[in-house]
Amino acid sequence: MNESISNKAAIAGLGATEFSKNSGRTELRLAMEATLAALADAGIDPSEVDGFSSYSVDKVPEYEIARLLGCKDVKFFSQIPHGGGAACAPIMHAAMAVATGVAKTVVVYRAMNERSWYRFGNGNYGFGDSPIFENINYGWYMPHGFHTPAAWVGMFAQRYMHTYGATSEDFGRVAVAVRDFAATNPNAFFYQKPITLEDHQASRWICEPLHLLDCCQESDGAVAMVITSAERAKDLKQKPVLIKAASQGIADGQQVMTSYYREDITGLPEMGVVARELYSQSGLGPEDFQTAVIYDHFTPFVLPQLEEFGFAKRGEAKDFIRAGHHARGGKLPINTHGGQLGEAYIHGMNGVAEAVRQVRGSAANQVDDVENVLVTAGTGVPTSGLILSAR
Amino acid sequence: MVGREYGRIYAWDEVNPAMVRQWCEVMGVDNPLYTDAAYAATTEFGDIVAPPAMLQAWCLEGLHMNNYPPGSTDENPYEVLSLIEAQGYPAVVAVNSELSFERYLEMGEKLYYTTLIKDLSDEKTTGLGTGFFVTQVMTFYSEQAGADDKVGELLFRVFKFKPAQAAKPAPAAASERPAAKRPLPGISDDTRFFWEGCDAGELRIQQCKACNKLQHPPAPVCQHCHSFDLGYRIAKGSGELYSFVVMHYPEVAPFDHPNPIGLIQLDEGVRLPAGLVGVDRNELKIGQRVRVEFQTFDDQLTLPLFRPVSD
């Protein structure tokens, strides 16, 4: 067991804005609302913050948050690349900073008007033809009109279906289960709006094999958390949520959304890297989780994640899902907040927030006797993961 | 046509308190002389009267166009406008409306008007365009025992014209926008040979001169042996469909939708993504044989595309 960071740091405060399609205010304001709420939740004075971490595509700089909070001695700050793939990584970076003593009070945050200001799925990203790497790389896809995240994921999904006999209905069962949770989570955009498998199958094609209801929302909103030492967290306002394990992952043949050149494209080997590291740090295994937050920007990638973490054997996640183990009342209910399909697309940070609530015992769809929660980040890209625990 | 007079157009209703009250409500007129009989009784009129500005309203056709009361003329007092329009002057704008009154109208009076073509100008060019000013005068009468009583007059002038810049139909305007082009790939020293190959009708796959292995996408160094000594091999251009998607949404110009895209496993062993041509999207199958063909878009971009072949 590698105990370098395990249980050294804890999430002591949690804050968020509402999730919407149009926040009607600036991203900086969203970041400040969530950050101040998280600090108040923890009972920590804003001026004490001495570290920050966020992840790419977020446009709110940590120095501006620091300035507005009145921070004086900020010694650690990072912004982690690859968007949603980094959703768990700021917590890891914060835990490392706290565990090593570089910083004592780290704010991690995500604040974007993703729906009202950007839209990731629009097919136009302004890649130029200059020889910087990103332009060269996307030059293999854009000229063919192969230009949306749904399409890039669809290419993996089609091969996965072909190889293992998973079907569109299996993807639909993921969507139905998380929308069921969203329907009973008042903070979810799709609160009180469950769907059926028939709704899923009847929803229009976005990119075959993905229907509309296989795709997450686009959302405006912010989530922030405060990380401090496990020792100090015991004396703060909330029940400490221990960071039991945390890792990032890049595997052989890694690309961003287009790792099509690997021997096999039906797995998510970068998530395998994360899984092995999380199990190594924590000493836990698949049987030790009462619930999990499995990144669901697109339903098909939920299946190989379950396989990479050993909840199902390779190619058998479809059976796990057909048995309803992932749904309300199942043996591993996933995305009890409604996921990004049902609650909001805050690029995974709202999933970390749900894991915090499950450990605290304050989730809208609280699972009984939660000891350990697995959280994963964006798939198809360099990724990350966490285990949050009560002890 | 100047001087021509058209026959009577009658009012549907006699002058009545209900229409007066409604008109005052809509127009925001609160003079009690028009609506309050008790007040009106204290004035020189002795009873309520109709607002003079309401004159034209009494003789309008109502909800349905050209629906005039029985007894009205069958002539079209506006035929001059149709005649001018037929000569290529489609647009119209009202330029003068001068209403004058002889007296107040009392409840129960029955009105009609007649129309006179008073003037037709020579062809004029204005900021709006080129055309003719047409002046009509409508004279309003109240039917009386003996001689009818003239109660008011409306001088109405319009400009019937050909717009200076004819409004273009929307599709024509759209076609004048620069047509959307396919995005160009970024090209570097590491990848130029591939795109030059496309221009030459060759599918070039990077090959390490040290270990002879192939790699795609191309890179500055061999991912197998880390040699920088790289060349390329011309692929035969045949392979199979390793995976595929069919793009539906969003529809982004200039691409056709649905847009089928394949991940092609070349017989040489490497994969590349490419558009598919000549496919029925419902017949696409992983493993089906495909063959490359090159297509040039926008006179500047040649892409390898793949077409199903029977093998």
The verdict on B17 and B155 lying in the same domain is yes
Of all residues in chain B, what percent carry a pLDDT higher than 70?
Answer: 96
Band the pLDDT of B153: cuts 50, 70, 90: very high
Q: Kindly report the nearest CA distance between residue B172 and chain A, in angstroms.
A: 25
On whether both B194 and B256 belong to a single domain, the answer is yes
Nearest to B186 among A123, A135, A151 (CB): A135
In the prediction, which pLDDT does A369 show?
Answer: 97
Q: Greater confidence, A265 or B65? A: A265
- Return all residues near B268 (Cβ < 8 A) that are at least 6 apart: B205, B214, B233, B235, B236
| Whether residues B25 and B136 fall in one domain | yes
Q: Are residues B209 and B131 in the same domain?
A: no
Indicate if B278 and B180 belong to the same structural domain. Answer: yes
Q: What is the mean pLDDT of residues A59-80?
A: 97
Domain boundary among B142, B163, B184: B163
| Residue from B249, B292, B294, B306 to probe the interface with A (highest A Cβ count within 10 Å) | B249
Q: Are residues B132 and B209 in the same domain?
A: no
Q: How close, in Å, is residue B288 to chain A by CA atoms?
A: 13
pLDDT band with cut points at 50, 70 and 90 for residue A245 = very high
Strand stretches in A218-266, DSSP E = 220-229, 241-249
Residues B132, B84 contacting (CB under 8 angstroms): yes
Q: How confident is the model at residue B145 (pLDDT cuts 50, 70, 90)?
A: confident
Residue B11's pLDDT is 93
pLDDT grade for B268, boundaries at 50, 70 and 90: very high
Q: Is the pLDDT of residue B177 over 80?
A: no
* Shared domain check, B302 and B220: yes
Domain-ending residue, one of B134, B163, B192? B163
- Three-state DSSP at B29 gives coil
Does position A2 have pLDDT exceeding 70, yes or no? no
Please state, in angstroms and rounded to a whole number, the distance separating the CA atoms of residues B72 and B9: 5
- Mean pLDDT throughout A162-186? 98
> Considering only A275-284, B165-174, B193-202, B214-223, which range has the smallest mean pLDDT?
B165-174
The pLDDT tens digits of the residues spanning B113-127 come to: 999 999 999 988 888
> pLDDT tens digits, residue range A112-145?
999 999 888 887 777 776 789 989 999 999 999 9
Query: Which chain A residue is nearest to residue B242, measuring alpha carbons?
Result: A159
Summarize pLDDT for A206-216 with one digit per residue, the tens: 999 999 999 99
Can you tell me the mean pLDDT for B214-243? 97
Q: Which domain holds residue B255?
A: 176-308
Does the CB of A142 have a partner CB in chain B at under 8 Å?
yes
User: CATH no. for residue B123?
Assistant: 3.10.129.10
Other residues' Cβ atoms within 10 Å of the Cβ of residue A143 = 22
At B61, is the pLDDT very low, low, confident or very high (cuts 50, 70, 90)? Answer: confident
Range of the domain at A226: 9-117+221-389
Q: What is the pLDDT of residue A232?
A: 97
Say if residue B156 is in the same domain as residue B184: no
Please report where in the chains the tokens 């795109």 appear, as a residue. B195
Residue B26 lies in a domain: yes
The residue among A247, A257, A296, A221 whose CA lies nearest residue A58 is: A221
A151: chain B residues, CB-CB within 8 Å: 245, 247, 261
The chain-wide mean pLDDT, for chain A, equals 96
| Residues sharing a CB contact under 8 Å with residue B29, sequence separation 6 or more, in sequence order | B23, B51
CATH code of the domain covering residue A337: 3.40.47.10
For chain A, the domain total comes to: 1
The average pLDDT across A42-60 equals 96
| pLDDT single digits (tens) B103-114 | 999 999 999 999
For range A248-272, the mean pLDDT: 97
For the segment A179-187, the average pLDDT, to the nearest whole number, is 98
Check whether A321 has a pLDDT greater than 90: yes
Which domain-ending residue is among B122, B142, B163? B163
Is residue B182 located within the same domain as residue B145? no
CATH code for position B270: 2.40.50.840
Match 């021509």 to its residue by tokens.
Answer: B4
User: Average pLDDT of A346-357?
Assistant: 98
Q: Is B211 a domain residue?
A: yes
Say yes or no: B186 and B216 in one domain.
Answer: yes
Note whether B11 and B147 are same-domain residues: yes
Q: Does A173 score more than 60 pLDDT?
A: yes
Q: Is there a domain that residue B168 lies in?
A: no
Looking only at the bridges linking them, the beta strands covering A372-376 and A383-389 are antiparallel
Please measure the distance between the N-terminal and C-terminal CA atoms of chain A and give it in whole angstroms: 16
Residues B268 and B125 in one domain: no
- For the cut 70, the answer to whether the pLDDT of residue A190 exceeds it is yes
CA distance B72 to A113: 65
Amino acid letter, residue B153: E
pLDDT over 60 at A15, yes or no: yes
What's the pTM value of the predicted model, to 2 decimals? 0.75
Nearest to B214 by CA among B228, B222, B305: B222
The pLDDT of residue A1 is: 52
Nearest CA in chain B to A212: B249
| Average confidence (pLDDT) over A306-333 | 98
**Residue A125 is among the residues annotated as catalytic for this protein:** no
Do residues A41 and A238 make contact, with C-beta atoms less than 8 angstroms apart? yes
Asked, for residue A260, whether it belongs to a domain, the answer is yes
Contact of A147 with chain B, judged by CB distance below 8 Å, is answered with yes
In a domain, A24, yes or no: yes
**H or E stretch covering B198:** helix B192-199
What CA–CA distance (Å, rounded) separates A221 from A212?
22
What lies within 8 Å, CB to CB, of B218 at 6+ separation is B190, B191, B193, B194, B206, B230, B232
Domain for residue A125, yes or no?
no
Given pLDDT bands bounded at 50, 70 and 90, which one contains residue B257? very high
Chain B, window 77-96: residues with a beta carbon less than 8 angstroms from a chain A beta carbon? none
- Residue A289 maps to a domain: yes
**B41 reaches A (C-beta below 8 A):** no
Model confidence at B172: pLDDT above 90: no
Domain count for chain B: 2
B121 with B137: CB under 8 angstroms? no
Task: Kindly state the percentage of chain B with pLDDT values over 90.
Answer: 73
Burial group, residue B2, by CB count within 10 angstroms (0-12, 13-18, 19+): exposed
The answer to whether residue A277 sits within a structural domain is yes
Q: Is the pLDDT of residue A259 over 70?
A: yes
Q: Does residue B166 surpass a pLDDT of 60?
A: no
Q: How large is the average pLDDT for residues B50-69? A: 88
Q: Which of A131, A146, A205 sits opposite B186 (nearest CB)?
A: A131
Query: Is B181 an interface residue toward A (CB < 8 Å)?
Result: no
Confidence of residue B173 (pLDDT cuts 50, 70, 90): low
As a whole number, mean pLDDT of residues B29-47 equals: 92
Measured CA to CA, the distance from residue B59 to residue B64 in angstroms comes to 13
Helices (H) and strands (E) in chain B, counts: 5, 16
